[in-house]
Amino acid sequence: MIVQAFLRWSEKAGSTERANAANALGRAYLHSGMARENRDAAYMAMTYLLDDPSPRVRLALAEALADAHDAPRAIIVSLAEDQPEIACTVIARSPVLAEADLVDLAGRGESLTRALIAARPGLPRGVCAALAEVGDLPETTILLENDEAFITPFSLRRIAERHGCDADIRDLLLRREALPADARHLLVGRVSEALADSALVHALITRNRADSLFREAEDSATILIASSVSSPELPALVEHLRQRLELTPALLIHAVCSGRLEFFTAAMVNLSGLDDRKVRAILATGRPHALKALFQSIGLSGDVVDVFSEATLMWRRATRSQLPEAAASVSAELLSHFRDVSGSETLFELLHAVRKLSIAEERQKARYYAQALAVEAA
């Protein structure tokens, strides 16, 4: 009888009256001690109001139910699929929407819907993953700015892959401690690509010179990233580099000369197919012919093998030395050893990379020395 009376009344009432009634009905359902029969009747009346032609009525119902933990889920989900003004109210506020509901809304909704979802507090991993896969720049930015969103390393990687070309997205990603090393490297590549397309860069230097500078900068950044990650992360970073064809001889010799031996070992394991223990044993104590066989197994040949073998032996001596400068002099010592050697173009490029690294190390030492003098003089 209550529902029948409500239906008869709603057919004659204006939209303002119906909106007031919808809001009152929603609040009464939540907060009054209705009998079971009346409560069921109120639920049916609210369900009927979902089809009210006036958005004011549906919005009033949404306002009444949006913050309630015990609001009827079916009605909340229906309101979340209504026109934007109404949907926004429940999507942004309702605790009733489950993870599956939010994933479905993110997949089927528009940018505004996804943006509201991205801003929700305590956003679950599954919803973050859905937004990482389908979100455009605006909602992805909101997601990354949401400190309460549980974004997994995998989802951060997907965001880097999809939106790494955007400077703001890169900045937000790099603030995330959970960002995987391979995703950090991917962002380095995006920066290089942006600079390579810069009209200012083209006006100042030739394309070949720019490409050379960017490659060297990427190698340096890669070594820096490798030095900051834990050993369990290294295989994933190495595999990422291998798939991108970036495990080059220049990068590997950079790793050796810089003392990034964990990264170098992981690269040798990946490229050679040998197990970790065997590779470590060869690098640490293997005889020269074992070292050469290892480097030949990853595709190196001729005089390039000699460079890697000699660099490895130099590092062994450096680690046994008590002198702190021994490790820092590997690149200079390697250049001195191969100073009078002429060979292939690959060897020339390899030694050029070592020479650039040696110069960078000398400049860094000069900066440290100048800083020390400044401290003493202060």
252 exposure class (CB count in 10 Å sphere: 0-12, 13-18, 19+): buried
Give pLDDT, residue 195: 72
pLDDT tens digits along 194-209: 776 676 666 667 777 7
**Together in a domain, 132 and 41:** no
Percent of the chain with pLDDT over 90: 49
Give pLDDT, residue 78: 94
Give residue 163's pLDDT band: very low, low, confident or very high (50, 70, 90). very high
Min mean pLDDT across 151-155, 180-184, 345-349 is at 345-349
Percent of the chain with pLDDT over 70: 86
**Together in a domain, 155 and 186:** no
**Together in a domain, 282 and 339:** yes
**Together in a domain, 361 and 258:** yes
Please say whether the dihedral angle defined by the alpha carbons of residues 288, 292, 293 and 298, taken in this order, is positive or negative. positive
What whole-number distance in Å separates Cα of residue 127 and Cα of residue 114?
10
**Together in a domain, 368 and 279:** yes
Closest to 212 measured CA to CA, from 192, 197, 231, 238: 192
Task: Give the domain-ending residue among 155, 178, 201.
Answer: 178
**Together in a domain, 198 and 296:** no
Give residue 30's pLDDT band: very low, low, confident or very high (50, 70, 90). confident
Give residue 282's pLDDT band: very low, low, confident or very high (50, 70, 90). very high
**Together in a domain, 231 and 254:** no
For tokens 């939106």, what's the residue?
163
Give pLDDT, residue 1: 46
pLDDT tens digits along 2-17: 556 666 677 767 888 8
Under 8 Å CB-to-CB from 53, ≥6 apart: which residues? none
pLDDT tens digits along 237-257: 999 999 999 898 989 998 988
Mean pLDDT on 17-28:
86
**Together in a domain, 130 and 234:** no
Task: Give the domain-ending residue among 192, 227, 245.
Answer: 245
Give pLDDT, residue 271: 95
Give residue 77's pLDDT band: very low, low, confident or very high (50, 70, 90). very high
**Together in a domain, 282 and 371:** yes
Give residue 302's pLDDT band: very low, low, confident or very high (50, 70, 90). confident
**Together in a domain, 338 and 275:** yes
Give me the amino acid identity at 216: E
Give pLDDT, residue 235: 93
What whole-number distance in Å separates Cα of residue 9 and Cα of residue 187?
62
Instruction: Show the tokens assigned to 30.
Output: 């939540």
Domain hosting 23: range is: 1-97
> What is the chain's Cα-based Rg?
32
More confident residue, 334 or 273: 273
**Together in a domain, 1 and 75:** yes
**Together in a domain, 281 and 366:** yes
- Looking at every residue in the chain, the average pLDDT score rounds to 86
- Predicted TM-score (pTM) of the model is 0.77
Give pLDDT, residue 7: 67
Task: Give the domain-ending residue among 71, 97, 123.
Answer: 97
Find the angle CA(102)-CA(105)-CA(106) to the nearest 5 degrees. 85
What is the domain count for the chain? Answer: 4
pLDDT tens digits along 356-376: 777 766 666 666 656 666 666
Give pLDDT, residue 369: 57
What whole-number distance in Å separates Cα of residue 193 and Cα of residue 18?
58
More confident residue, 12 or 305: 305
Half-sphere exposure in the Cβ direction for 138 (13 Å, CA):
8
pLDDT for 213 beyond 80: no
